[in-house]
Amino acid sequence: MKRRRCIRVAVTALLLGLLIAGFSWHTTHAAPAAPATIKVGVVDALTGSMAAGGKWVKQGYEVAVKHINSAGGVSVKEFGKKIPLELIFLDDESNPSKTSGRMEKLYSIDKVDFFLGGFANALIIPQLAVAERYKVPIVVTTIGSTAEFDKGYKYTFSPFMSEQDQVITFLDVLDSIPQGQRPTKIAFFEIQEEWGVATGKYLKDFAAKRGYTIVTYEKYSMSANDFSSLIVSAKSAGAEALYSNPTPPQGFAIIKQMKEIDFAPKFAYIMRASDVAMWSKNLGKDGDYVSHTGGWDYHLKLPGVAKFNEDYNAAYGNYPEPPAGSAYVCVQVLADALQRAGTLNRDKVRDAIAATNMMTIMGPMKFKSNGRGDGKYLQTMNQWQNGKDELIWPKDQASAPLAYPMPPWNKR
């Protein structure tokens, strides 16, 4: 009897021990406590000369985050739940010298988990160095620079078109014009900044391989406002197409001076300056026939574009400008990578971004080993027609066909 009692006590103790061990294993292996939000830091041009573009980037991010958070946020396996995204903005005041300090604050004081980029090449470049120093993934838009992506950065990604993509799109559109009608003599006005210099380099290389001739190659400073000598040179050389990357005020001046000198090439591709609504407001019909590439367009017939347009219009009272669309894509990429990584570990999220293979409102998105989009997404071109910014390329996505050639000034 005593022996049976001892056995019962031993069995009870064993079962109790197993129960305690099971409870201990469960509690020690349960999902860790989830953060209230996933903090995403953005240094953006909210004031200063670049504030218009900075506003569009900010609005694109905000609509994208609203769409994700309306479904509960991003599903993160490590925590066993969805976690909303939280955007934290700091203003660089359109001043590159202030960008790094703002990035440092986001990292050390605000304790952000990841970065998104701001607006404009010169303002974004300092952000990349900070993100790399702290090994924090950053996804950026509105940066055409190829050189920055040749520095061996591991945490920097961009779905935005590079200078190479822009030159290729320019030449693809020219190639689409029937032979015998297409312009073959190109004038290039090189603005003295990295974007302009790199664009000129690729244009020389790619144009020669396709049978185009650069008949005049002129340079101007970031502060230039008189382009008459460049225009006279292009006209004298018989240029049939013009390519340049001026600031908006410079773009307005170029068109006005082209009219004064009576230079109307068959095709004009004026990047940056003409991809804003103020182009038509400032130039009226004189701004028509000018083409540009902003990296995205609200006319695209792709999944998610209509919903983005609708909600953007409801929030801000107009259709999204190109920088807003490409900003939206940056959030799509980050959210997709977070879900696939299943963790907030930055290295694992970085690897997930590098392995991106998804449909975005720009089209299919993958990244090259250097962090740039692989160019398989849609390469767009727009043209001002009757005061409207129409999508003309790719043809199967176009809202209007290419208006060609540009007529003489006295026949508009």
> 360 and 313 in one domain?
yes
Q: What is the pLDDT of residues 21-64, one digit of tens each?
A: 444 444 445 668 999 999 999 999 999 988 888 999 999 999 99
In a domain, 15, yes or no: no
Q: Which two three-digit tokens encode residue 386? A: 């009757």
Q: Are 353 and 337 in contact (CB under 8 A)?
A: yes
For residues 54 and 148, membership in a common domain is answered with yes
Domain that residue 254 falls in: 164-293+380-411
Domain assignment present for 356:
yes
Length of the chain: 412
Mean pLDDT of 185-207: 96
Predicted confidence (pLDDT) at residue 358 exceeds the cutoff of 90:
yes
* Cα–Cα distance, 244 to 267 (Å, whole number): 12
Let me know whether 262 and 386 are in one domain.
yes
Instruction: Please confirm whether the linkage preceding 178 is cis (ω < 30° from 0).
Output: no
Partnered with residue 115 across adjacent β-strands are: 41, 138
* pLDDT for res 272: 87
**Sign for the pseudo-dihedral over CA of 404, 406, 410, 412:** positive
Whether pLDDT at 17 is above 60: no
Task: Report pLDDT for 169.
Answer: 96
SS3 408: coil
Task: Note whether 184 and 204 are same-domain residues.
Answer: yes
Rg of the chain on CA atoms, in Å: 27
Segment 111-150, tens digit of pLDDT: 999 999 999 888 999 999 999 999 999 999 999 888 899 9
* 287 and 306 part of one domain: no
Q: Which residue has the higher pLDDT, 31 or 403?
A: 403
Tokens representing 377 are 């997404």
Integer Cα distance of 254 and 187 in angstroms:
13
Kindly report the CATH number assigned to the domain that includes residue 232. 3.40.50.2300
203 located within any domain:
yes
Number of domains in the chain: 2
Residue 11 reports pLDDT greater than 50: no
Summarised one tens digit per residue, pLDDT across range 153-174 is 999 999 999 999 999 999 999 9
Higher pLDDT, 412 or 98: 98
d(CA 386, CA 263): 20
String of DSSP letters for 262-306: T---SEEEETTTTSSTHHHHHHGGGGTTEEE--S--TT--STTHH
Tell me if 22 is assigned to some domain.
no
pLDDT at residue 194, rounded to an integer = 87
**pLDDT tier for residue 198 given thresholds of 50, 70 and 90:** very high
* Pair 170, 43 in one domain: no
220 — pLDDT class (breaks 50, 70, 90): very high
Domain shared by 268 and 405, yes or no:
yes
